[in-house]
C-alpha cells in the first residue's frame, strides 16, 4: 500500500522533486557506474550505459506508469464494464431498435460513405425513417423492429482480439511510427478491455435473472434505467478485485514494450527502458536491483491490493 | 459424436475466420503506411546516387522509388475498391482483381508469404530457418510446463485439507508472486543469477550458436535458461488452477467414500481426483501454446536466439511489415493448432463428451 502511494506521488510530483539530474540527459563522465556517494552531486543509484542517472529515470518511469498504464487500466475497465454489461443484459434479441432508427442509420451511413447515388438514396432512406417514426407515434403498440444482435457483435469482437496473444497484438500495432502517450493508452485499452468485459458479461447473465431486476422491470422503469441503475452496479462487483490485476498486467505489458524498444521513442524514461540497457552491460547489478525491484514491488503490491479488495467484495 | 464434431468444426472455423480477419486487418493497415517502406529501401540505394550530379538527384530518386514500388508490388491499388476525394466530391473506384490485397491472399494460399521490405528477399526461407529454433524451444517449454504443473499441483493439493500450511503455503505464495511478474523481468533475473561472471556462472547466457558443429549436449545446455524462463512464466497459472480443482474434488462425496474405504491420500489424488480435475486444465492448455509463442518474442530477444520471436521483434522495430504480417499469421496458426488439440484431448479425457448422440 505504502509503496503504491510512493509510486503514485513520485509519478505526479516528478517535475518538482529536488533531483540532482535531469531525465534523459547523459552525464558522460560517469557512464555505467555503480552507486557511489563520493562525488558532490552523487548518483545515488548509479548510472546506466548512456550515463543517465538511475534515480531520476526511476522517478520519471513512475510518472510513465501513472500517466499511461493507470488511465489505460481505468478506461479499459470502464469500456469493458459497459460493453460486457450491455451484451449480457440484452443478449442477441433483447434490444429492439425501431425501424425508424435502422433506416436513419443506413441513411447517414450511405451519405457519409458517398456510395453511388448519394443524394437520392440517402434522402429516400431518411424519408422512410421519418415515415416509420410517424407511424410508430400514431399507434403505440408493442415495441416492433429488428433486434440488434449485441451479444453476437460482442463475441465476434472478442474472438477477433483473442486470435493472437496480447503481446503480439500490441507489438504489431506499435510497429508503425513511434506512439505518443494518448495513442499508447488507446492501444492498451484496445487489448485490455475484453478481460473485464467477459467477466461482467458472465456476471450480468446471472444478475439479470435475479428478483430485484424483475421487480424493477415490473415497476415500469425504462429498460436502460433498469440496466444502468440496478443491474450494472451488481454485475460490476467482481471488477473491484480484478482491476488492480488488470493494471498490473498493463504495467507489465508496457514495460515489455519499452524493454523491447518498440512503440515509444527510446529517450522516454521508463522502467522497462532502464532494464533494456541491462543487455549492453550484463554485470550492472544496480540497474537490475533498482528498476527490476521497483517493477516487482509495484506488481506485488497491486496483487496484494487485489486480494484485499477480493476479500471485501 | 456427430454433435461434438459439428461443435469442434464450428470452434475451429471461428478461430480460422478470426485469424484471417486479424491478418487482413494488419496487412491493410500496414500497407497504408507503405511510403515508409520504400524510404527504407531508398536509404540503401542512396549511396549510388551520390556520384550523380545534384540536379539529377531528384528525378533519380523518383525513378528509384517507382522501381522499388514496382518490385514490391506497391504500385497497384491496395484493395478491391478505393475511395478518392477530389475537390470536395467523393467517388468510388472498382479495381477488380489487380490489387495488393488479392495478390497477397492468393500468394498466401500458394504458400508464399511475400517479400521483405528491408532487403526484397522472400520471407518464407527466413521463417523456416527461424522455426528450427523456435519449435524445439516451444515444445520443450510446453512439455516442461505440463509436467511441472502436474507435479506442483499434486504436491500442493496433498496434505491436510483444512488450509495450506508450512512450506506448502510458502510455495503457494511464491507461485502467486511469480504469476504477476512479466516474463522479461523473470528472464533477466534468471540471466543475471545463472549466467553472470559475478554470480553463479554455470549456464551459458546466449543460446544462439553460429556454428552447426557444436555438440548436442552443449546446444541443449544453451536451451536450458530460455526454456526455464518460459516454463516459470506459464507454470504458476496452471499449477494453481490444478491445485484448486484438486482440492475441490477432494471435498466431494466420492472422495470421502474412497477415503472411508481406506485409500491412501496420494492414491486417492492420483487415481480418483486427478481424472476429474484434468478438464479445466485442458481448457487452460488451449491458451498455453499461443502464450509460449508470444513469450518466445521476449525470451529469444533476451537470450539472443535467432528464432521467430526475435525475427518478429526485429521486424517490428524496423517497420518490415510483411514479416510482421507473417508473424501474426504464425501466431494465429499456433492458436488454431492448440484449440484443435485441446478439443481432441477433451474428447479423450471425458467420455461424457464422446457419448453425446
Q: What pLDDT was estimated at residue B42?
A: 62
Domain boundary among A198, A217, A249: A249
Map grid coordinates 488492480 to a residue: A244
Question: How many angstroms away from the CA of B270 is the closest CA of chain A?
Answer: 31
Q: Give the H or E element holding residue B92.
A: strand B89-94
Confidence tier at B51 by pLDDT (50, 70, 90): very low
Decide if A216 contacts B142 (C-beta within 8 A): no
A136 and A178 inside one domain: no
A213 and A236 inside one domain: yes
Q: What pLDDT was estimated at residue B142?
A: 92
Confidence tier at A313 by pLDDT (50, 70, 90): low
**C-alpha cell, B57:** 538527384
> For chain B, what is the domain count?
1
Phi, psi (rounded to 5 degrees) for B94 = -100, 125
Q: What percent of chain B stands above pLDDT 90?
A: 5
Q: Would you say residue B223 lies in a domain? A: yes
Question: How many angstroms away from the CA of A269 is the closest CA of chain B?
Answer: 17
* Residues composing chain A: 313
Q: Would you say residue B12 lies in a domain? A: no
A24 and A130 inside one domain: no
Q: Would you say residue A292 lies in a domain? A: no
> For chain A, what is the domain count?
3
Mean pLDDT of B44-48: 50
**C-alpha cell, B308:** 521467430
Nearest-Cα residue of chain A relative to residue B13: A159
> Distances from the Cα of A33 to the Cαs of A27, A48, A285, in angstroms?
11, 7, 10
User: Using the 8-state DSSP alphabet, how is residue B93 labeled?
Assistant: E
- Burial class, A139, CB count within 10 angstroms (exposed 0-12 / middle 13-18 / buried 19+): exposed
* Average pLDDT of every residue of chain B: 77
A132 and A39 inside one domain: no
3-state secondary structure of B81: strand
Q: What pLDDT was estimated at residue B143?
A: 93
A46 and A123 inside one domain: no
> Distances from the Cα of A255 to the Cαs of A58, A81, B181, B302, in angstroms?
13, 25, 11, 14
Q: Would you say residue B137 lies in a domain? A: yes
Confidence tier at B215 by pLDDT (50, 70, 90): low
Q: Would you say residue B24 lies in a domain? A: no
Residue-wise pLDDT for B255-277, tens only, equals 888 888 888 888 888 888 888 88
3-state SS, one letter per residue, for A152-193: HHHHHHHHHHCCCCHHHHHHHHCCCCCCCHHHHHHHHHHHHH
Q: What pLDDT was estimated at residue A189?
A: 92
Confidence tier at A73 by pLDDT (50, 70, 90): very high
- A171 at interface of B, judged by CB pairs closer than 8 A: yes
Q: What pLDDT was estimated at residue B144?
A: 93
**C-alpha cell, A99:** 425501424
Domain boundary among A146, A181, A212: A146
End-to-end CA distance of chain A: 18
Q: Give the H or E element holding residue B85.
A: strand B81-86
Q: What pLDDT was estimated at residue B49?
A: 46
Question: With 90 as the cut, is the pLDDT of residue B145 above it?
Answer: yes
Domain boundary among A82, A114, A146: A146
Question: With 50 as the cut, is the pLDDT of residue B214 above it?
Answer: yes
Q: Would you say residue B109 lies in a domain? A: no
Q: Would you say residue A77 lies in a domain? A: yes
Q: How many CB pairs lie under 8 A apart between chains A and B?
A: 135
Residue-wise pLDDT for B93-113, tens only, equals 777 777 788 888 888 888 777
- B317 at interface of A, judged by CB pairs closer than 8 A: yes
Q: What's the whole-model pTM score?
A: 0.81
Q: Would you say residue B357 lies in a domain? A: no
Question: With 70 as the cut, is the pLDDT of residue A81 above it?
Answer: yes
**C-alpha cell, B224:** 536450458
Other Cβ atoms closer than 10 A to A94: 17
Mean pLDDT of B157-171: 74
A136 and A166 inside one domain: no
* Average pLDDT of every residue of chain A: 80
Q: At B329, which CATH number?
A: 1.10.3720.10
Tell me which residues of chain A, numbers 251 to 280, contact chain B at a CB-CB cutoff of 8 Å.
252-253, 255-256, 259-262, 272, 275, 278-279
Nearest-Cα residue of chain B relative to residue A156: B18
A153 and A182 inside one domain: yes
Which residue range is the domain that position A138 belongs to? 97-146
A41 and A106 inside one domain: no
- Interface probe for B, chosen from A165, A244, A303 (most Cβ of B below 10 Å), is A165
A83 and A184 inside one domain: yes
Q: What pLDDT was estimated at residue A72?
A: 92
Q: Would you say residue B238 lies in a domain? A: yes
Question: How many angstroms away from the CA of A168 is the closest CA of chain B?
Answer: 6
3-state SS, one letter per residue, for B3-39: HHHHHHHHHHHHHHHHHHHHHHHHHHHHHHCHHHHHH
How many Cα atoms sit within 13 Å of A274 on the Cβ side?
Answer: 33
**C-alpha cell, A274:** 532502464
Contacts of A239 (CB under 8 A, 6+ apart): A77, A80, A81, A196, A199, A200
Q: At A76, which CATH number?
A: 1.10.3720.10
Question: With 90 as the cut, is the pLDDT of residue A75 above it?
Answer: yes
Lowest mean pLDDT: which of A64-68, A81-85, A130-134?
A130-134
Contact B185 A283 (CB under 8 A): no
**Closest in B33, B205, B331 to A168, CB measured:** B331
Q: Would you say residue A254 lies in a domain? A: no
- H helices present in B110-205, as ranges: 124-157, 166-180, 183-194
- Burial class, B163, CB count within 10 angstroms (exposed 0-12 / middle 13-18 / buried 19+): exposed
Choose the most confident range, by mean pLDDT, from B63-77, B195-209, B253-267. B253-267
Question: With 70 as the cut, is the pLDDT of residue A211 above it?
Answer: yes
A197 and A139 inside one domain: no
Q: What pLDDT was estimated at residue A35?
A: 66
3-state secondary structure of B194: helix
**Closest in B33, B293, B317 to A261, CB measured:** B317
Q: Would you say residue A298 lies in a domain? A: no
Question: With 80 as the cut, is the pLDDT of residue B188 above it?
Answer: yes
**Closest in B90, B198, B328 to A168, CB measured:** B328
Question: With 50 as the cut, is the pLDDT of residue B357 above it?
Answer: no
Other Cβ atoms closer than 10 A to A184: 24
For residue A172, which of A199, A191, A152, A144 has the smallest C-alpha distance?
A191
Decide if A50 contacts A26 (C-beta within 8 A): yes
Contact B294 A302 (CB under 8 A): no
Strand partners, B92: B83
Q: Would you say residue A297 lies in a domain? A: no
- Burial class, B176, CB count within 10 angstroms (exposed 0-12 / middle 13-18 / buried 19+): middle
Mean pLDDT of B228-232: 91
Q: Would you say residue A108 lies in a domain? A: yes
A178 and A85 inside one domain: yes
Lowest mean pLDDT: which of A115-124, A169-178, B280-289?
A115-124
Contact A168 B294 (CB under 8 A): yes
Pairing of strands B81-86, B89-94: antiparallel
Lowest mean pLDDT: which of A14-18, B44-48, B230-234, B319-323?
B44-48
Contacts of A122 (CB under 8 A, 6+ apart): A107, A108, A110, A111
Q: What pLDDT was estimated at residue B48?
A: 47
Decide if A247 contacts A69 (C-beta within 8 A): yes
Which residue range is the domain that position B233 belongs to? 124-349
Question: How many angstroms away from the CA of A299 is the closest CA of chain B?
Answer: 6
For residue A295, which of A260, A253, A265 has the smallest C-alpha distance?
A253
Confidence tier at A117 by pLDDT (50, 70, 90): low
Contact B205 A176 (CB under 8 A): no
Q: What pLDDT was estimated at residue B55?
A: 52
Q: Give the H or E element holding residue A101.
A: helix A99-113
- Interface probe for B, chosen from A168, A247, A252, A294 (most Cβ of B below 10 Å), is A168
Q: What percent of chain A stands above pLDDT 90?
A: 8
Q: Would you say residue B101 lies in a domain? A: no
Q: What percent of chain A stands above pLDDT 70?
A: 81
Confidence tier at B210 by pLDDT (50, 70, 90): very low
> Distances from the Cα of B54 to the Cαs of B11, B45, B49, B64, B301, in angstroms?
61, 15, 9, 15, 42
Q: Would you say residue A68 lies in a domain? A: yes
Strand partners, B47: none
B127 or B99, which is more confident: B127
- A247 at interface of B, judged by CB pairs closer than 8 A: no
Choose the most confident range, by mean pLDDT, from A173-182, A192-201, B110-119. A192-201
**C-alpha cell, A170:** 500490441
A24 and A81 inside one domain: no
Mean pLDDT of A184-201: 90
Q: Which residues of A touch B189 (CB under 8 A)?
A: 288, 292
Q: Would you say residue A126 lies in a domain? A: yes
Amino acid at each position: 500500500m505504502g509503496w503504491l502511494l510512493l509510486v503514485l506521488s513520485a509519478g505526479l510530483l516528478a517535475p518538482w522533486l529536488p533531483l540532482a539530474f535531469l531525465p534523459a540527459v547523459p552525464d558522460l563522465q560517469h557512464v555505467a557506474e555503480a552507486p557511489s556517494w563520493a562525488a558532490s552531486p552523487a548518483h545515488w543509484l548509479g548510472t546506466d550505459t548512456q550515463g543517465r542517472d538511475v534515480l531520476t529515470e526511476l522517478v520519471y518511469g513512475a510518472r510513465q506508469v501513472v500517466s499511461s498504464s493507470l488511465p489505460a487500466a481505468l478506461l479499459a475497465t470502464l469500456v469493458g464494464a459497459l460493453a460486457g454489461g450491455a451484451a449480457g443484459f440484452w443478449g442477441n434479441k433483447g434490444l429492439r431498435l425501431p425501424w425508424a432508427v435502422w433506416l436513419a442509420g443506413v441513411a447517414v451511413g450511405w451519405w457519409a460513405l458517398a456510395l453511388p447515388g448519394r443524394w437520392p438514396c440517402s434522402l429516400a432512406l431518411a424519408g422512410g425513417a421519418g415515415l416509420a417514426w410517424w407511424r410508430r407515434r400514431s399507434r403505440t403498440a408493442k415495441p416492433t423492429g429488428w433486434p440488434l444482435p449485441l451479444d453476437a457483435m460482442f463475441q465476434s469482437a472478442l474472438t477477433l482480439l483473442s486470435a493472437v496473444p496480447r503481446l503480439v497484438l500490441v507489438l504489431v500495432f506499435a510497429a508503425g511510427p513511434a506512439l505518443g502517450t494518448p495513442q499508447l493508452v488507446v492501444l492498451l485499452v484496445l487489448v485490455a478491455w475484453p478481460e473485464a468485459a467477459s467477466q461482467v458479461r458472465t456476471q450480468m447473465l446471472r444478475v439479470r435473472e435475479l428478483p430485484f431486476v424483475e421487480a424493477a422491470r415490473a415497476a415500469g422503469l425504462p429498460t436502460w434505467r433498469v440496466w444502468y441503475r440496478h443491474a450494472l452496479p451488481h454485475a460490476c462487483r467482481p471488477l473491484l478485485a480484478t482491476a488492480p490485476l488488470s493494471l498490473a498486467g498493463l504495467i507489465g505489458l508496457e514495460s515489455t514494450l519499452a524493454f523491447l524498444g518498440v512503440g515509444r521513442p527510446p529517450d522516454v524514461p521508463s522502467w522497462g527502458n532502464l532494464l533494456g540497457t541491462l543487455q549492453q552491460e550484463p554485470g550492472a547489478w544496480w540497474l537490475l536491483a533498482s528498476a527490476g525491484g521497483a517493477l516487482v514491488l509495484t506488481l506485488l503490491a497491486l496483487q496484494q491490493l487485489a486480494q484485499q479488495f477480493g476479500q471485501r467484495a | 459424436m456427430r454433435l461434438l464434431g459439428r461443435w469442434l468444426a464450428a470452434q475451429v472455423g471461428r478461430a480460422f475466420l478470426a485469424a484471417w480477419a486479424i491478418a487482413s486487418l494488419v496487412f491493410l493497415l500496414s500497407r497504408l503506411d507503405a511510403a515508409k517502406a520504400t524510404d527504407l529501401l531508398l536509404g540503401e540505394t542512396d549511396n549510388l546516387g551520390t556520384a550523380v550530379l545534384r540536379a539529377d538527384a531528384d528525378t533519380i530518386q523518383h525513378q528509384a522509388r517507382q522501381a522499388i514500388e514496382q518490385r514490391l508490388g506497391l504500385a497497384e491499388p491496395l484493395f478491391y475498391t478505393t475511395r478518392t476525394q477530389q475537390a470536395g466530391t467523393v467517388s468510388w473506384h472498382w479495381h477488380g482483381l489487380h490489387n495488393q490485397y488479392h495478390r497477397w491472399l492468393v500468394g498466401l494460399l500458394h504458400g508464399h508469404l511475400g517479400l521483405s521490405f528491408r532487403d526484397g528477399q522472400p520471407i518464407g526461407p527466413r521463417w523456416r530457418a527461424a522455426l528450427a529454433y523456435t519449435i524445439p524451444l516451444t515444445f520443450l517449454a510446453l512439455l516442461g510446463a505440463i509436467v511441472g504443473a502436474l507435479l506442483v499441483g499434486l504436491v500442493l493439493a496433498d496434505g491436510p485439507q483444512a488450509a495450506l500450511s508450512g512450506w506448502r503455503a510458502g510455495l503457494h505464495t511464491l507461485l502467486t508472486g511469480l504469476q504477476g511478474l512479466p516474463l522479461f523481468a523473470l528472464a533477466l533475473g534468471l540471466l543475471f543469477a545463472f549466467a553472470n561472471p559475478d554470480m553463479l556462472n554455470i549456464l551459458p547466457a546466449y543460446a544462439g550458436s553460429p556454428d552447426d558443429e557444436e555438440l548436442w549436449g552443449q546446444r541443449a545446455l544453451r536451451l536450458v535458461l530460455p526454456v526455464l524462463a518460459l516454463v516459470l512464466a506459464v507454470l504458476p497459472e496452471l499449477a494453481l488452477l490444478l491445485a484448486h480443482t484438486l482440492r475441490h474434488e477432494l471435498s466431494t462425496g466420492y472422495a470421502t467414500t474412497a477415503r472411508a474405504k481406506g485409500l491412501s491420500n496420494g492414491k486417492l489424488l492420483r487415481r480418483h481426483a486427478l481424472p476429474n480435475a484434468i478438464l479445466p486444465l485442458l481448457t487452460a492448455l488451449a491458451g498455453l501454446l499461443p502464450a509460449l509463442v508470444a513469450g518466445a518474442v521476449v525470451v529469444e530477444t533476451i537470450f539472443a536466439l535467432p528464432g521467430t520471436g526475435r525475427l518478429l521483434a526485429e521486424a517490428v522495430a524496423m517497420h518490415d511489415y510483411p514479416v510482421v504480417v507473417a508473424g501474426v499469421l504464425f501466431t494465429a496458426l499456433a492458436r488454431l493448432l492448440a484449440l484443435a488439440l485441446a478439443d481432441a484431448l477433451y474428447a479423450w479425457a471425458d467420455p461424457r463428451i464422446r457419448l453425446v448422440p
